[in-house]
Amino acid sequence: MRSFLLLLLLSPAALAAEVGGVVVSVSPPADRVGEQVLAKGGNAVDAAVAVGFALAVTWPEAGNIGGGGFMLVRPPGAKSVPVVIDYRETAPASATKDLFAKGTGSAHRTVGVPGSVAGLAMAHAKFGKLPWKDLVGPAVKLAEEGFAVDDALAGSLNGGLARSKRFAEFQRVFGKTKGKWVAGDRLVQKELAKTLRRIAAKGADGFYKGETAELLVAEMKAGDGLVTRKDLEAYTAKGREPIHGTYRGYDIYGPPPPSSGGVCLVLMLNILETFDLRKGPRFSARTLHLMTETMRRGYCDRARHLGDQDFVKIPAHLTSKEYAKKLAAGIEMNKATPSEAIAKDIPLTDTKTNTTHYSVIDAAGMAVSTTTTLEDSFGSKVVVRGAGFLLNNEMTDFNPRPGVTTKTGLVGTTPNQIAPGKRMLSSMTPVIVCRDGRIVLVTGSPGGRTIINTVLCVVLNVLEFEMPLREALDAPRMHMQWFPDRLQVEPGHFDKHKKAVEALEAMGHKVIKVNAQGDAHSIWLDPKTKTYRGEHDKRREGRPAAFGKP
């Protein structure tokens, strides 16, 4: 196997080590786990599996074994066919369509059947090289022995603790005896280590059966939750074909439903491809207007059509160039379209999420783009007593009130209503972009419904405006999701584009400033040096850069 030279820019000096690939995630300790797996001869999937388990220890607000996600794998070779591992959570067998019609009730009732362990096990079975126990083992060690908390994790833990006063087990597992978490403190998770050790020894059965399953079911009974032993035993991850589209000669691969990411991204790129975006600067009012109107239409179709493809028929035309041209023709160049006007068939009633993404590429050219989530930051805040891991609150990703869609953003359309065994609609958008059979970009992001638009911004910055990856990630991001009928922009990032924002407002767009958007840890093929460059998103703390050359 040919090797990469990976250069890690740590402090002023560069440290060189031959490890055979590039790994970028939100957590430096998890990055190191992935790099060690590559150095031992593991491939990109081996590294992704190891990083996934490590993140459950080192980034508990989103890394998980009690949640779910999507992994996009492109095997090596110019003609290889990408595969999606769908390990989205499912609704328990006792869940009903109107479960949340009058509110969510107990936090335990928001928990979907977890998919992460099954998904990572499927990925390893299909593509892995190294023994399973060697991939889970580093996470066991991190949990058992602990690791030094950095500023980003300290802030995450302190924020989670402040918002979770009524969750006694959360406070016990993640709290400190005195004071708040600060960089340099050591986080030890002995009970999680025991759970991970069972998974290392027995594979997915170490989670869905035996002691771990018993502890999870006991937690559900104690809190009036819905997940049962039968739900756990019935859970399966699924291999699916990715959504495939093209943009100006590039091949775009993303996840299919129950993720809305692949369909919406390809639909929006198809619309934008009909316009000459380089007619003006990247942050001109014209470009921002076209992107906003495109997002508006993409998210409207998301609400109208998308749900779990095993329960809902997804129209094939959504990703066609012809359909995109029809939508593009409805965009007025100097005027915002009211969101109501593009959805007269959807009755309207007047009445914070957290995920994480990581990207991997190995020496042979296998690439993995993975997004995983607990839904809200720290999920349901429910820690399984005796097992030390957090459970998701993904049931809230279903449309909660059947038939009730509001101008404030509540969606009640049929495709994403609750049904037993159904997977809730997701916005996760792990993406791999190729040209002439060669990978040029691996990306994705957390951020709830903003995810798709964050990925759209990064993809456009790199492919359309030819920004280097660092510049592409640092650039301002924006979000429009149909309803509420407003354009969200990042404060600070958009300040130097004040005139463009004022022009958008003159066109009829309502522009508001929100918090920083997304966290897109990505890998890019630098066209000048022909090297792969991994970059952490500066919106989160992380190591500055990684490089690799085949």
What is the four-CA torsion angle of 454, 456, 462, 466, rounded to 10 degrees? -120
**Range list of H helices, 407-509:** 451-463, 469-474, 498-506
**Among the listed residues 249, 252, 253, the one whose alpha carbon sits nearest the alpha carbon of residue 240:** 253
Helix (H), strand (E) at residue 534 = strand 531-535
Distance (Å, rounded) from C-alpha 437 to C-alpha 454?
25
Q: Are 405 and 81 in contact (CB under 8 A)?
A: no
- Pairing mode, if any, of strands 83-87 and 238-240? antiparallel
Alpha carbon distance, N-terminus to C-terminus of the chain: 10
Distance (Å, rounded) from C-alpha 320 to C-alpha 266?
9
CA 200 to the chain's CA centroid? 25
Q: Which phi and psi (to 5°) does residue 524 adopt?
A: -140, 140
Q: Are 293 and 337 in contact (CB under 8 A)?
A: yes
List, in sequence order, every residue forming a beta bridge with 357; answer none if it has no partner. Answer: 371
Q: What number of helices (H) and strands (E) belong to the chain?
A: 16, 20
Q: Are 93 and 265 in contact (CB under 8 A)?
A: no
What 3-state class would DSSP assign to 212? helix
Question: Exposed, middle or buried: residue 527 (CB in 10 Å: 0-12, 13-18, 19+)?
Answer: exposed
- Residues 6+ positions from 58 with CB-CB distance below 8 Å: 27, 29, 30, 142, 147, 153
Buried b or exposed e, range 510-521, using 16+ CB within 10 angstroms: ebeeeeebbbbb
SS (H, E, C) 160-211: HHHCCCCCHHHHHHHCCCCCCCCCCCEECCHHHHHHHHHHHHHCCHHHHCHH
Catalytic residues: 355
What 3-state class would DSSP assign to 21? strand
